[in-house]
Structure 1
């Protein structure tokens, strides 16, 4: 397979992942599937890890990867001025942008999972919105989730969506890292070494 064709496959894979991350981040603005005042939304949601990091910043490299296959794989062989190698080399820069964006989402998601959600708790007779969990202790003790009175199911909602963002971000980082290697090979060997070999014979 030509390196441009492989890059296109990576781009096709990145697009739905970016959409999923954006949707997850949007859903996090509705803890437990309900609407709450903006000051009661977990702080890490406002960092837009899924919308900006794994979403918007991931669309750019995905589109670049998709466009690398537009030209004929063998048409540039023997032409020293061909921009095919430069295109593969430039894709490495966009892959780096994708790694940084996905990395940002991963960090935000990891911090959010460790920190836990903001929810309404009761301390004696006082009801207040707070972060009742710390250091990720609630991950092992599911019985502690009951301290969150509202919104209903906010802990599982928070944990599930941020876990999806974490996993999607790691996958995106891996795909962009693969394109870095693919881009280097394409820049050094040309987009399709096999085709070039056939033309030169």
Structure 2
């Protein structure tokens, strides 16, 4: 029995992962330039969570490695390679871990808030706050420099969290898909592609 739908699903998953990987990397790179200025990175005045590279290493490199192998497994004309499908499960698990890392780093960055200049001193004013600064817009004005850094960090960290969630879902679906292909997938009969 050859389950062509498994291969098509794998191709669909990998095709969906690629733009998410690119957006994740871009979001993490942008976080290095709060206030759209290079000087803060040069001076080391960026949020610690940005330096953890969640969007670049986790949601980027690890998910990319996973996506490439998932695509390779999906490009088989038939899911006759039970071993390939099993290995795609392992690679999807690597992607799941990477996406989880990206999500957790972004959540931590969102919880701790940005590094900014408050009364002439660089600090993270919202790190130990009892109330959530996310809904207290008036408190955002405490951060004098970089300009609009609170909005900037919130937008990019929320984007990274959303991307991490989508990547985790897609990798989890591929784990199930790969297991189905591994268990039900082989007879060695080639899939007949639709001529259209």
Give the direction of change, closer, same or farther, for the CA distance of 1:191–1:119 in structure 2 (3 Å limit).
Answer: farther
> Cα distance, 1:33 vs. partner?
1.2
Secondary structure of 1:176's counterpart equals: helix
Q: Is 1:64 aligned with 2:69? A: yes
SS of the aligned residue for 1:137 comes to coil
Q: 1:16 aligns with which of 4, 16, 19?
A: 19
Question: Given the alignment of the two structures, is residue 146 of structure 1 paired with residue 149 of structure 2, yes or no?
Answer: no
* DSSP 3-state at the match of 2:147: coil
How many Å separate the matches in 2 of 1:191 and 1:153? Answer: 56
The structure having more radius of gyration, on CA atoms, is 1
Q: Separation in 2 of the partners of 1:28 and 1:17?
A: 17
SS of residue in 1 equivalent to 2:114: coil
Q: Which residue of structure 2 aligns with residue 93 of structure 1?
A: 90
Q: Aligned-pair distance for 1:72? A: 2.1
The aligned counterpart of 2:51 is 46
Rounded to whole Å, the distance in 2 between the matches of 1:191 and 1:63 is 22
Q: Which residue of 1 aligns with 2:194?
A: none
Q: Structure 1: state its 5+ residue gaps.
A: 77-83, 197-201
CA distance in 2, matches of 1:12, 1:176: 12
Unaligned runs of 5+ in 2: 192-196
CA distance in 2, matches of 1:189, 1:72: 15
Residues in 2 aligned to 1:57 and 1:49: alpha-carbon distance in whole angstroms: 10
Question: What value does the CA root-mean-square deviation take over the aligned residues?
Answer: 2.0
DSSP 3-state at the match of 1:39: coil
Compute the displacement of 1:68 (Å): 1.6
| 1:176 corresponds to which of 146, 171, 177 | 171
Given the alignment, which residue of 121, 124, 142 partners 2:118? 121
Instruction: Give the SS at the match of 2:167.
Output: helix
**One of 131, 134, 150 as aligned partner of 2:124:** 131
> Given the two structures, how large is their TM-score scaled by the length of structure 2?
0.88
**Scaled by the length of structure 1, what TM-score is found?**
0.86
Equivalenced residues, count: 184
Task: Work out whether residues 11 and 75 of structure 2, in 8 Å CA contact, stay in contact via their aligned partners in 1.
Answer: no
Runs of 4 or more consecutive aligned structure 1 residues displaced over 4 Å after TM superposition: none
Q: Is the 8 A contact 1:88 1:191 kept in 2?
A: no
